[in-house]
């Protein structure tokens, strides 16, 4: 019988788990490391590898190090990934350390000997001067370190995995000598083979005939349950234990899996197996973690199998179960119960029970099975996943340093029975005009033609690139413009508008252009330009205007009105539809075409979701028909995307696989597993060269895509160099081309020789071309023609060629998948959209039967691109940043489904497993914000007015792709299984997401959220953020940093803190250049160049200063910063303006113009004419300090003398005349003691020139109180060319005035686009006469509310559902109901003025029932509203007759004579009452009610005056009194 021996240590101290403490400490240190690295990614990481004790290094060492880094950057040109740069810098430092230790000549000789090795490392030729410079810096740097520390410090080239290892964790454990057995190497190899052979067979057991000294740890390596089985077998054989091998192993499993401290477990194991197996116990303790993982893995597999089998029907048990135990089994059972009782804690209790109910053989077998995640997780270093089902015929080959996967071309699917292509001549005449030059539609277009052209169905077409999706869009456009066939009715609820209404755009042979808009959303500006060009040409016969609307191409309001088809980008259309002022444009949209819908999986996905959700909500709220056409590449979860676009899956969803591609595409995926930068770069060049040569040998042309302009030349040179080295140069030259003889004498050869691009000319002789956006347009066009004619065999280009030009080739090669993205703050993987577009260029439909697409990437990205391009990667909503991070981990969706569908009973363990998987794959991620972009999208809808409360927000969220995928794949969106079971519709989750976002927006003052009612109220700040596309986190920053008074550097620093720039990172290779650039900046840089925000500040100042930058990454960052800078500045100006900050508003407007003009506010204003006025003249004007006012007063000769250049005086005077200036004059008339009316006259005083001023100039009119630094009035005034040449312009507005009166107000006119274009006028209050101070408003008495019974008429009382009149009605009741006096009732909107008017009407009906009531309403809408209201109440219950008189409806004479109530507009009654002598019903008016009488002061005031005067005159002539009742808002001059 086995008993636990007493241990003295248990009573001396509390249990302490050393293993757990170590793990806790390690995780804590890792979290600290992640936190610090988040602040500055990799900052000074390289420095610590090169400089010994970097933190203590002297200033001289730091300067030398920065010079060395700058020299390495100069060698590379800056076009490398940051990690690769570090590797190159380390290799360069090691290469030249000690190269110059001897005399100068000998040192230089050694340096030049290493030139070839350095060129291999860098990948291109290097000037000797640069090599000597780098070597000299390395020598000085290493020499100083030797002198300071007495040792030469050479950095070790460590792998990335070992950089962040905790101290001591990488020390190799060496077994003490007494535990080792002296055997020869050959014997050891045999022993290992035998061990592996025996352990691979579950039935055969190893039989080592030695002592316990030979234990598995000495020869094996895998410490799993098989190893445990073998160890227990030896222990049982060598001892007298009554336990069998499996029972002993199971007992050890339970001990190892307990929560006991390490020393107690060691004691228990020694008690169990005896001292003779001490070495085995030592191995058990050392490898406890591996063994416990095997145990848990086995339990997980068994649990999964059990849950799967539990769905099968169970057979009934008829007999009583009897268990027979042996003595040894009784002993192990007793020990088991003892262990359970002692160590039953928390969740381990369930695990113990599971272990106790299992036998070891089943656990061993289960642990040998593959992990639940093993089928999904790839074998590379980075996040990856194995493709779940590659196409049939896929070949996988392994070579030294790389792996190659070849996916065969899918053969074109044969035509189905009854399938035919639709001839163009079968289409309508209008459609044939748009398809001029086509003979027939292709297979895909023919399949979807009926649904697209003859119905209003929303459609989603998923087809391969190059399948003709553009023509599908054309068919949908033709349906919208000119189809006349009756459609089939759509079952979808949002198709409510009849087809006759839709097809009325083309009537009577004329296209009614003002009735509709078509919006084509293209993913990129380059594609938008191409689509605009194509559709403009093809739709011109139909007189349809197509225009581009992107960040580069702006349209005026008139141009938008004249355009029928707008081609735009998602971001631009989102900005336009966010503004309520542009609602008229979006209301005209009848067709929305979204190209590349699969971008939902991209960073731009939230924008597309917001667009579609806004469109669907508009359809629902306005009950208008907007057709949505989605065009997408092939994707696996097209059903969810169709549901998102509200596509009927039976009639509007079309999915075509790769067999429908016009030219079948063979794909090759090459993953390079080499880690060394030099070897990896060389291997990539060799693979690329081999693939190019192989294609050329087969007679094909090749396009090689690289990801930087500089790389095009480097790759082309490398291909030529390797061709000469391998003696394949003849393959590249075009000597064998049939037109070669004509070429030399022809135009092509002459054009090539004329080109100023020497690189292009040199490479042309070698049969290779280059193409990128940095080349001249003529050179790019020449290269395209040469390649299309076959005169170039190889074209090395960037991705711009794939987007902008339709230039196919048989073979395309993507060399590398790392591209620089300033938005992401570094290098990222090539996106799905770019890869598909590039692969779409493979195969020429006219000449090739197949195409070939090759992608060369790193091995850890191989499986990702396999799934991406074989359409196995489902697209997820990117509104959730959590999912946007997860979606970078291919296969997570399958894991989530596996955990939900296959192991539901083990949900806690499943979630834990998935969490551990995600944590392992994303441990470098520092961003983990949940549904962050939801705040921005919700704010946009609230600002637009489409969402006003939580209920509407939930409905809006239901339109998004996020909600659809959340229901399909809840775990990926952070929703546990228990939440799904409790709330299957996820309505609670939906409400929680909305409420959380609303609370955040409320906290940032972007809207007001009333949690009790659930209502949202938009604020000015939220509206500004929506209109200018400012992120929520940026608004939080501005709320904290924006102050009433700030200087220039503080403003720049605040802008640099915007979250739009949060991904800009610091790089060591940029530090030297940043410090140089910082010295050229005119303003102080907060934090300096070594700070991330300081870097952004430098880039902002350089953009305004028009500075030049050398580093490629800095150029990209500067371009990214400048793209967002203007709208951020404008948003800050609007914020200051809405807050009423006078000084800060003017300051921010100056910086808005400084960014637009790229001129500093302190520079001379004439710098805005820098293209016409020489820099020398401008410099002299700035040196003399002459401002515009002085220049206006000076003569030409005086200006010429001032700048010491006589002809310059005339030039300066000429451009002074072009400078926009206006003269202001104002008159002030007090309305009350607190309100002033200002009449402002604006007189332009400049010469209008279209080149400088365009069609209009805008001016901000501000009324400021300088003492209180407050703006009391602001408006934007537009001055057109015609207005500038005509009479002075007049503006009228009111401003408040407070007591005590300030000495003066300033009226300022500030140009919206010209720096220093400013005029002002002073309003003095010294001699201002104000009205006397008296109460103009009627005091509201504190009266008891009058009951309805005061009317004294049951019929009248039944007209009202309320019981008492309100205070205003109560106070005016007697005058209105019991007298004939005229009444003017001025009260706020909603005060019940209409019921007050009804009291006067009821009085007339009581006293003069034969007289008529005339009700004058200023708007047709008010007339209609009053008609609907009184028809339900007054007319039906009192038996009266009522008629309407407006411009739309005029009743006949009989109706007018019989009417008791006439409701009319002022103009209509004016026309009728002019002939009152002949119209008896005009003479019978006893009561005239004038609604909105305050419009007397507006344009329609004269008409109201005329009809009141005329009615008073009629009354005097007929001697019948007419009572007047005026209804108005509260008036200041009511008397």
Max Cα separation, the chain? Answer: 138
1517 versus 170: which is more confidently predicted? 1517
CA distance 38 to 1032: 21
pLDDT average, residue stretch 219-247? 75
CA distance 18 to 16: 6
CA distance 1105 to 1089: 17
Helix (H, G, I), strand (E, B) or coil at 832: helix
Residue 557's Cβ-count burial label (10 Å; 0-12, 13-18, 19+) is exposed
Helix (H, G, I), strand (E, B) or coil at 1268: coil
Q: Which two tokens stand for residue 1411?
A: 């007289």
Helix (H, G, I), strand (E, B) or coil at 1135: helix
- Under 8 Å CB-to-CB from 304, ≥6 apart: which residues? 372, 902, 903, 906
Q: What is the overall mean pLDDT for the chain? A: 76
Residue 39 has pLDDT above 70, yes or no: no
Residues of the chain with pLDDT > 90: what percent? 16
> pTM of the predicted model, to two decimals?
0.62
* Whether the bond into 1300 is cis, omega within 30 of 0: yes
- 290's enclosing H/E stretch is helix 288-309
CA distance 957 to 988: 12
pLDDT average, residue stretch 504-519? 70
CA angle 739, 743, 746 (to 5 degrees): 125
**Listed residue (587, 641, 647) closest to 614, CA to CA:** 587
Residue 1050 has pLDDT above 90, yes or no: yes
CA distance 1369 to 1367: 6
Strands (E), 830-877: 851-858
Summarised one tens digit per residue, pLDDT across range 1189-1231 is 888 888 888 888 888 888 888 888 889 999 999 999 999 888 8
CA distance 514 to 500: 17
Helix (H, G, I), strand (E, B) or coil at 742: helix
Question: Is the CB of residue 981 less than 8 Å from the CB of residue 971?
Answer: no
The strand pair at 794-797 and 1222-1230 is best described as unpaired
Summarised one tens digit per residue, pLDDT across range 717-728 is 888 888 888 888
**b/e code 328-352 from CB counts within 10 Å (16+ = b):** eeebbeebbeebeeebeeeeeeebb
Summarised one tens digit per residue, pLDDT across range 672-707 is 988 877 788 889 999 999 999 999 888 888 999 998
Residue 869 has pLDDT above 80, yes or no: no
The sign of the CA dihedral 690, 692, 696, 700 is: positive
According to the model, what pLDDT value does residue 10 have? 44
CA distance 1526 to 1493: 6
Q: Which two tokens stand for residue 550?
A: 């992107």
Most confident segment among 66-75, 855-864, 1006-1015, 1292-1301: 1006-1015
β-strand partners of 856: 670, 815
Question: Is the CB of residue 52 less than 8 Å from the CB of residue 153?
Answer: yes
Summarised one tens digit per residue, pLDDT across range 815-852 is 988 887 666 666 778 877 678 778 877 886 666 788 89
Residue 47 has pLDDT above 80, yes or no: no
987 versus 380: which is more confidently predicted? 987
**Listed residue (83, 87, 75) closest to 137, CA to CA:** 75
- Under 8 Å CB-to-CB from 937, ≥6 apart: which residues? 606, 609, 610, 613, 879
pLDDT average, residue stretch 207-212? 35
Most confident segment among 33-37, 96-100, 1529-1533: 1529-1533
Q: Which two tokens stand for residue 1043?
A: 């102050």
Question: Is the CB of residue 570 less than 8 Å from the CB of residue 606?
Answer: no
Show contacts of 70-75: CB within 8 Å, 24+ apart: 70/1072, 70/1073, 71/130, 71/133, 71/134, 71/137, 72/134, 72/1069, 73/1069, 73/1070, 73/1072, 73/1073, 73/1111, 74/130, 75/118, 75/122, 75/126, 75/130, 75/134
Neighbours of 1085 (CB within 10 A): 24
**Listed residue (530, 844, 827) closest to 703, CA to CA:** 844
Summarised one tens digit per residue, pLDDT across range 566-590 is 999 888 888 888 876 666 777 888 8
Residue for token pair 């009728």: 1472
Give the DSSP letter string of 924-992: T-----SS-HHHHHHHHHHHHTS--BHHHHHHHHHTSHHHHHHHHSGGGGT--HHHHHH-TT-HHHHHH
Summarised one tens digit per residue, pLDDT across range 152-204 is 555 554 444 344 444 555 454 444 443 344 433 334 333 333 333 333 333 33
**Listed residue (1019, 969, 962, 1022) closest to 990, CA to CA:** 962
How far from the centroid of its chain's Cα atoms is residue 873's Cα? Answer: 20
pLDDT average, residue stretch 255-259? 81
CA angle 1497, 1502, 1503 (to 5 degrees): 120
Question: What torsion, rounded to 10 degrees, do the Cα atoms 382, 386, 391, 397 define?
Answer: 70
How far from the centroid of its chain's Cα atoms is residue 623's Cα? Answer: 30
CA angle 1027, 1031, 1037 (to 5 degrees): 115
Q: How far is CA 750 from CA 191, 747, 778, 794, 1342, in A?
A: 75, 5, 13, 21, 99
Helix (H, G, I), strand (E, B) or coil at 1065: coil
Question: Is the CB of residue 1416 less than 8 Å from the CB of residue 1491?
Answer: yes
pLDDT average, residue stretch 997-1011? 92
């Amino acid at each position: 019988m086995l008993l636990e021996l007493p241990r003295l240590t248990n009573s001396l101290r509390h249990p302490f788990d050393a293993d757990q403490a170590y793990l806790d400490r390690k995780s804590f240190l890792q979290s600290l490391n992640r936190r610090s690295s988040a602040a500055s990614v990799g900052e000074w990481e390289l420095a610590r590898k090169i400089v010994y004790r970097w933190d203590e290094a002297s200033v001289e060492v730091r300067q030398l190090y920065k010079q060395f880094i700058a020299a390495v950057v100069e060698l590379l040109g800056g076009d490398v990934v940051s990690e690769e740069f570090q590797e190159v810098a380390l290799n360069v430092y090691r290469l030249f350390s000690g190269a110059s230790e001897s005399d100068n000549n000998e040192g230089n000789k050694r340096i030049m000997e290493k030139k070839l090795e350095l060129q291999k490392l860098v990948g291109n030729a290097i000037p000797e001067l640069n090599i000597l410079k780098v070597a000299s810096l390395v020598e000085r740097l290493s020499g100083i370190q030797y002198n300071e520390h007495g040792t030469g410090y050479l950095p070790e080239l460590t792998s990335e995995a070992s950089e962040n290892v905790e101290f001591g964790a990488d020390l190799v454990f060496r077994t003490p000598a007494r535990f080792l057995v002296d055997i020869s190497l050959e014997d050891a190899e045999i022993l290992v083979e035998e061990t592996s052979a025996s352990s691979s067979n579950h039935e055969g057991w190893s039989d080592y005939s030695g002592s316990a000294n030979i234990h598995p740890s000495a020869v094996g390596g895998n410490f799993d349950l098989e190893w445990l089985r073998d160890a227990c077998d030896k222990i049982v054989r060598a001892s007298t234990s009554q336990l069998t091998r499996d029972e002993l192993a199971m007992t050890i499993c339970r001990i190892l899996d307990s929560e006991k401290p390490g020393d107690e477990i060691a004691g228990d194991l020694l008690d169990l197996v005896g001292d003779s197996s001490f070495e085995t116990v030592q191995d058990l303790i050392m490898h406890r973690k591996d063994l416990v993982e095997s145990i848990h893995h086995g339990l997980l597999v068994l649990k999964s199998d059990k849950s799967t089998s539990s769905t099968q029907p169970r057979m009934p048990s008829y007999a009583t179960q009897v268990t027979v135990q042996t003595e040894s089994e009784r002993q192990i059972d007793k020990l088991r119960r003892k262990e359970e009782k002692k160590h039953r804690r928390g969740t381990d209790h369930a695990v113990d029970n599971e272990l106790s109910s299992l036998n070891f053989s089943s656990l061993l077998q289960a642990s040998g099975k593959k992990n639940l995640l093993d089928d999904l997780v790839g074998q590379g270093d980075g996040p990856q996943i194995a493709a779940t089902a590659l196409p049939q015929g896929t070949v996988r080959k392994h070579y030294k340093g790389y792996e190659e996967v070849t996916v065969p071309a899918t053969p074109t699917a044969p035509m189905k029975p009854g399938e035919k292509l639709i001839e163009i001549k079968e289409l309508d005449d209008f459609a044939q005009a748009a398809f001029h030059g086509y003979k027939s539609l292709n297979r895909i277009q023919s399949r979807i033609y009926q649904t697209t052209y003859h119905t209003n169905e929303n459609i989603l077409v998923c087809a391969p690139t190059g399948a003709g999706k553009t023509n599908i869009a054309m068919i949908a456009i033709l349906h919208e413009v000119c189809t006349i066939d009756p459609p089939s009715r759509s079952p979808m609820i949002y198709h409510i508008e009849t087809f006759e209404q839709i097809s009325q755009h083309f009537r009577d042979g004329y296209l009614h252009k003002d009735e509709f808009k078509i919006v084509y959303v293209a993913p990129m500006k380059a594609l938008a330009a191409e689509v605009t060009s194509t559709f403009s040409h093809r739709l011109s016969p139909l007189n349809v205007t197509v225009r581009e609307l992107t960040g580069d191409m702006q349209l005026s309001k008139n141009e938008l009105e004249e355009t029928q088809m707008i081609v735009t980008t998602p971001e631009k259309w989102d900005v336009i539809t966010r503004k309520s002022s542009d609602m008229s444009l979006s209301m005209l949209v009848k067709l929305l075409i979204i190209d590349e819908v699969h971008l939902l999986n991209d960073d731009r996905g939230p924008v597309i979701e917001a667009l579609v959700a806004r469109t669907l909500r508009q359809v629902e709220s306005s009950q208008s028909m907007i057709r949505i056409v989605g065009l997408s590449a092939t994707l696996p979860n097209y059903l969810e995307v169709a549901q998102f676009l509200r596509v009927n899956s039976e009639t509007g969803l079309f999915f075509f696989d790769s067999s429908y591609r016009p030219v079948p595409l063979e794909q090759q995926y090459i993953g390079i597993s080499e880690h060394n930068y030099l070897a990896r770069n060389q291997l990539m060049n060799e693979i690329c060269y081999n693939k190019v040569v192989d294609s050329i040998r087969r007679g094909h042309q090749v396009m090689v895509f690289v990801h930087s302009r500089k790389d095009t030349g480097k790759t082309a040179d490398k291909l030529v160099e390797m061709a000469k080295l391998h003696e394949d140069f003849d393959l590249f030259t075009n000597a064998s081309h049939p037109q070669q003889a004509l070429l030399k004498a022809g135009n092509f050869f002459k054009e090539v020789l004329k080109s100023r691009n020497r690189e292009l000319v040199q490479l042309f002789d070698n049969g290779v071309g280059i193409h990128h956006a940095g080349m001249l347009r003529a050179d790019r066009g020449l290269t395209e023609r040469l390649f299309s004619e076959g005169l170039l065999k190889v074209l090395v280009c960037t991705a711009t060629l794939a987007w902008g030009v339709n230039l196919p080739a048989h073979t395309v090669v993507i060399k590398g998948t790392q591209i620089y993205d300033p938005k992401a703050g570094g290098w990222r993987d090539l996106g799905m959209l770019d890869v598909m577009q590039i692969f779409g260029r493979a195969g020429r439909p006219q000449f090739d039967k197949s195409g070939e697409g090759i992608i060369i990437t790193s091995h850890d990205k191989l499986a990702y691109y396999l799934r991406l391009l074989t359409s196995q990667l489902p697209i997820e909503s990117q509104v959730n940043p959590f999912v946007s991070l997860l979606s970078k981990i291919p296969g997570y969706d399958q894991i989530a489904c596996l955990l939900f569908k296959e192991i539901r009973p083990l949900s806690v363990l499943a979630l834990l497993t998935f969490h551990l998987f995600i944590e392992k794959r994303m441990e470098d991620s520092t961003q983990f914000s949940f549904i962050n972009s939801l705040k921005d999208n919700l704010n946009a809808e609230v600002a637009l007015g489409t969402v006003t409360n939580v209920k509407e927000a939930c409905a809006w969220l239901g339109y998004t792709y996020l909600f659809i995928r959340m229901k399909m794949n809840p775990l990926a969106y952070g929703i546990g299984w228990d939440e799904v079971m409790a709330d299957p519709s996820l309505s609670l989750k939906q409400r929680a997401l909305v409420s959380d976002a609303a609370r955040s927006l409320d906290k940032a003052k972007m809207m007001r959220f009333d949690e009790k009612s659930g209502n949202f109220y938009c604020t000015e700040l939220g509206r500004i953020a929506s209109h200018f596309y400012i992120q929520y986190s940026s608004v939080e920053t501005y709320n904290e940093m924006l102050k009433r008074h700030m200087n220039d550097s503080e403003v720049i620093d605040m802008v640099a803190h915007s979250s739009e720039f949060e991904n800009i990172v610091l790089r060591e290779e940029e530090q030297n250049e940043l410090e140089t650039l910082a010295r050229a900046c005119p303003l102080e840089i907060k934090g300096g160049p070594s700070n991330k925000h300081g870097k952004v500040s430098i880039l902002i100042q350089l953009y305004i200063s028009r500075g030049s930058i050398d580093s490629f990454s800095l150029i990209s960052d500067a371009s990214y910063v400048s793209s967002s800078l203007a709208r951020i500045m404008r948003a800050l100006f609007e914020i200051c303006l809405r807050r009423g900050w006078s000084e800060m508003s003017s300051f921010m407007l100056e910086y808005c113009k400084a960014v637009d003009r790229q001129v500093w506010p302190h520079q001379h204003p004439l710098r805005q004419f820098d293209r016409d006025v020489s820099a020398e003249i401008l410099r002299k004007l700035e040196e003399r300090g002459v401002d515009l006012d002085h220049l206006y007063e000076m003569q030409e000769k005086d200006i010429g003398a001032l700048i010491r250049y006589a002809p310059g005086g005339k030039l300066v005077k000429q451009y002074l005349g072009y400078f926009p200036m206006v003269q202001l004059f104002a008159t002030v008339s007090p309305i009350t003691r607190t309100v002033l009316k200002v009449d402002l006259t604006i007189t332009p005083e400049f010469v209008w020139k279209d080149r400088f001023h365009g069609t209009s100039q805008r001016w901000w009119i501000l009324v400021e109180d300088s003492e209180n630094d407050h703006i009391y009035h602001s408006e934007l005034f537009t001055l057109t060319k015609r207005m500038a040449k005509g009479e002075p312009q007049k503006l009228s507005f009111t401003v408040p005035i407070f007591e005590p009166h300030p000495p003066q107000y300033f009226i300022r006119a500030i140009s919206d686009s010209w720096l220093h274009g400013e005029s002002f006028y002073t309003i003095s209050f010294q001699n201002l006469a104000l009205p006397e101070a008296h109460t103009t408003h009627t005091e509201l008495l504190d009266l008891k509310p009058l009951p309805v019974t005061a009317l004294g008429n049951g019929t009248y009382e039944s007209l009202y559902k309320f019981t008492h009149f309100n205070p205003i009605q109560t106070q005016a009741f007697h005058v209105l109901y019991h007298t004939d006096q005229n009444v003017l009732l001025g009260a706020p909107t909603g005060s019940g003025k209409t019921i007050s008017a009804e009291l006067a009407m009821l009085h007339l009906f009581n006293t003069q029932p034969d007289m008529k009531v005339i009700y004058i309403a200023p708007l047709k809408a008010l007339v209609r509203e009053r008609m609907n209201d009184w028809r339900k109440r007054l007319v039906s219950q009192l038996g009266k007759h009522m008629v309407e008189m407006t411009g739309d409806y005029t009743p006949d004479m009989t109706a007018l004579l019989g009417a008791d109530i006439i409701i009319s507009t002022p103009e209509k009654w004016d026309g009728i009452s002019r002939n009152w002598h002949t119209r008896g019903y005009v003479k019978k008016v006893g009561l005239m009610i004038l609604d909105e009488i305050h419009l007397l002061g507006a344009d329609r005031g004269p008409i109201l005056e005329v009809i009141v005067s005329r009615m008073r005159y009629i009354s005097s002539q007929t001697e019948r009194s007419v009572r007047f009742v005026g209804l108005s808002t509260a008036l200041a001059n009511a008397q």
